[in-house]
Amino acid sequence: MSIRHLALRAGICFVAAIGAQGISLRAQSLAGDSVTGRVHEIPTVTVEARRVSPALTATSPLQVMGKAEMERLGVHEVAEAVRHFSGVSVKDYGGIGGLKTVSVRSMGAQHTGVIYDGVSVSDCQSGQVDISRFSLDNVSELTLTIGQTDNIYQSARAFASAGTLSIQTARPDFTDSPFHLYANLKAGSYGMVNPSVLYSQRLSPKAGLSVYGDFLRADGNYPFKMWNGNHLIDSRRNNSDIRTWRAEATLYTTLTPRQDLQVKAYLFDSERGLPGGVIYDNPYAAERLYDKNYFGQFRYENRFSDRIKLQALGKFNYSWNRDYNDEASGITDDRYRQTETYLSATLWAEPVKGLSFSLAQDFAYNYLSTTLDKCQYPQRYTVLTAVAAHYRRRRFWATASLLNTFITERVRIGVAAADRKRLSPAFSLAWKPFEQSGLRIRLSYKDIFRTPTFNDLYYLVIGNTNLRPETTRQGNFGITWNRSRWGFLDFISLSADAYYNKVDDKIVAVPSMFVWRMTNVGKVETIGTDVNLSAEWHVGKGLKCYLTGNYNFMQAEDVTDPSSKTWRNQIVYTPRHSGSGSLTVETPWANLSYNVTFASERYTLAQNLPDYRIAPYSDHGLSLSRQFRWNRHRLRVQLDALNLGGKNYEIIRFYPMPGRNYKISINYYL
């Protein structure tokens, strides 16, 4: 045997002996410092970088508000939080019990979808969702998407709206404790009392339960002053009381390491007075609205691998409404009942890193019955199919989707509307031109529509079964920019979007002989700009400031008929200028927040005459909060002064908002 082979065998035996005895060699033991001859150990270096918000990287306008920001702003209701989003109009019919609906970029509340914990909320009767029936106490995040969404792993119905408001409730974390308790008590002006409790319990290593309940009551008969021509009306709101009970339970289970199931049951029961408009100096109202809404829903997910996963959604919704009115002309007592059965499945796959696809299939069945004369008892069957793709590289993102809609209806009496079939495309792009810069450019387009509601088609004599869907085409071009450590600022972000929307076949009620009737006669053209700013900085030790602001310019004009008196007039209830802002100062002792929302003049009728003008308004508020901690207990107290100017401004004509009012909120967390 050669010397070379002997040396090789000896080396192998030496290495094996070292491995057997568990001896390890460190690189620095082989060579020391060339100057001192000693070995130096380099200390651990931690590199920190701020996570860029999805709102800045999205290919379409996206706005996100988390729980921490909600607390900084001092908002208590979903509607209050949504008002801080740009491009959004919240129709508020006054007071605590007033209905609140969301319209995005002047397209109407029927074009805004609402998603609650991943499952869509719908109302086939009116097409509008009253967001006042959702509590903010158990909400962890609000997300508003306008146009095409980058999240292709969702139901087909989520693709079917011009804008989408997503409400995500808090999921309990049992890492440090097997249970959590969150109790909240809010009280305020005009007899408002609102206690709530959220309790979460770990049932097993793979299951947890969260139970939430709240009660709200208020008299709501606040004083107001309004001018009617040269006459000042000095009175109090009438019939503005509300009683609401709300409860929900959510079961979270991990079936296997790759399979999750979430089941939710929801209950909402309310009785409220509808204060009505103050017309001809008469604030009297006697209309009562009773609502019962119960639903159960589930979400199942199976992650087959890192590159393929499936989610399934299901929901059964029951809604009952009673509209009672003791008018001078007589008593009316109308009742409505609607049900919905909804199923959805979405398959997502990423065959190549950075390129993903999804296929979503939805089915929904809706039914409506009423006590109205000649009720047609309509039924609607909806089948939605969405195919989407998302591509992402270091500096380029692209999303595209195609939605197919098929709707067929049946009625017990009369003639049903014709079947509807339509393909709806959408795409969006984003580009980061410079690697080291926070600048991004985005472009998006969406062609979508909204189906006529049951009220549009079948309500008494004004319904019209020949209505066509109301189509919307949305184009958006924008830029986003963010930077950390810029001057005295710790962080700053800016986004600006210019958009163009065109609505065709707008459904409106027009007089025909002596009867009003729903008709496709409207065309609306909207040109606008949204600007959002966010910044934060440390002023000194323990002192930090947050600044947010948004501005929206919206020129939404009627372009139906060039010979009409309403040609190029701003559409009803749409301000040209609106926005909001907030400044929060955090100190070791307390946090102070100042908020403002504003809107320019609006008009109540299509013809922009001085008699139909609603004056501009600005609403200012202050919030002062302090948090106390001991062991695992946390107590937070917040005081709010709202509408500091004390003006009874109007969002809806003849519906004056409350003047200066106050709230106190006490939160306990364990």
Residues linked to residue 557 through DSSP beta bridges, in sequence order: 525, 570
Q: What is the spatial distance between Cα 195 and Cα 212, in angstroms, rounded to a whole number?
A: 11
**Which DSSP helix (H) or strand (E) runs through 343?**
strand 330-352
The amino acid present at 655, given as its one-letter code, is Y
Q: How confident is the model at residue 2 (pLDDT cuts 50, 70, 90)?
A: very low
- % the chain with pLDDT above 90: 69
**Which DSSP helix (H) or strand (E) runs through 19?**
helix 3-20
CA distances (Å), 326 to each of 236, 288, 332, 335, 337, in order? 20, 9, 7, 15, 21
Is 270 in contact with 133 (CB distance < 8 Å)?
Answer: yes
Q: What is the spatial distance between Cα 619 and Cα 646, in angstroms, rounded to a whole number?
A: 9
Question: Apex CA 107: angle with CA 106 and CA 112, to 5°?
Answer: 115
**Which DSSP helix (H) or strand (E) runs through 279?**
none
User: Can you tell me the mean pLDDT for 154-181?
Assistant: 94
Q: How confident is the model at residue 104 (pLDDT cuts 50, 70, 90)?
A: very high
Domain residue limits, the chain: 54-90+161-669
What does the pLDDT look like over 257-285, one tens digit per residue? Answer: 999 999 999 999 999 988 878 877 677 78
User: Can you tell me the mean pLDDT for 106-134?
Assistant: 91
Residue 141 has pLDDT above 70, yes or no: yes
CB burial string 216-229: b at 16+ within 10 A, e below = bbbbbbbebebeee
Lowest mean pLDDT among 226-230, 430-434, 469-473, 662-666: 226-230
Per-residue 3-state assignment (H helix, E strand, C coil) for 61-99: CEEEEEHHHHHHHCCCEHHHHHCCCCCEEEEECCCCCCC
Helix, strand counts (H, E) of the chain: 5, 35
Q: How confident is the model at residue 142 (pLDDT cuts 50, 70, 90)?
A: very high
Is 661 in contact with 190 (CB distance < 8 Å)?
Answer: yes
Phi–psi pair at 10, nearest 5 degrees: -65, -40
What does the pLDDT look like over 46-59, one tens digit per residue? Answer: 445 566 778 888 99
Residue among 469, 344, 499, 485 at smallest CA distance from 407: 469
Q: Which token pair is 112? A: 């805004």
Q: What is the spatial distance between Cα 332 and Cα 342, in angstroms, rounded to a whole number?
A: 33
Residues linked to residue 642 through DSSP beta bridges, in sequence order: 661
User: Can you tell me the mean pLDDT for 550-561?
Assistant: 94
User: Can you tell me the mean pLDDT for 557-570?
Assistant: 92
Residue 33 has pLDDT above 70, yes or no: no
CATH of domain 54-90+161-669: 2.40.170.20
Residue 28 has pLDDT above 60, yes or no: no
Which pLDDT value is given to residue 445? 97
Which pLDDT value is given to residue 44? 52
- Per the listing, tokens 């970029």 go with 105
- Per the listing, tokens 């949204």 go with 530
Q: Which token pair is 454? A: 């049951």
User: Can you tell me the mean pLDDT for 638-645?
Assistant: 95
Q: How confident is the model at residue 29 (pLDDT cuts 50, 70, 90)?
A: very low
> Exposed (0-12), middle (13-18) or buried (19+): which is 316, by Cβ within 10 Å?
middle
- pTM, full prediction: 0.88
Q: How confident is the model at residue 235 (pLDDT cuts 50, 70, 90)?
A: confident
Residue among 593, 653, 528 at smallest CA distance from 84: 593
What does the pLDDT look like over 451-485, one tens digit per residue? Answer: 999 999 999 878 899 999 999 999 999 999 999 98
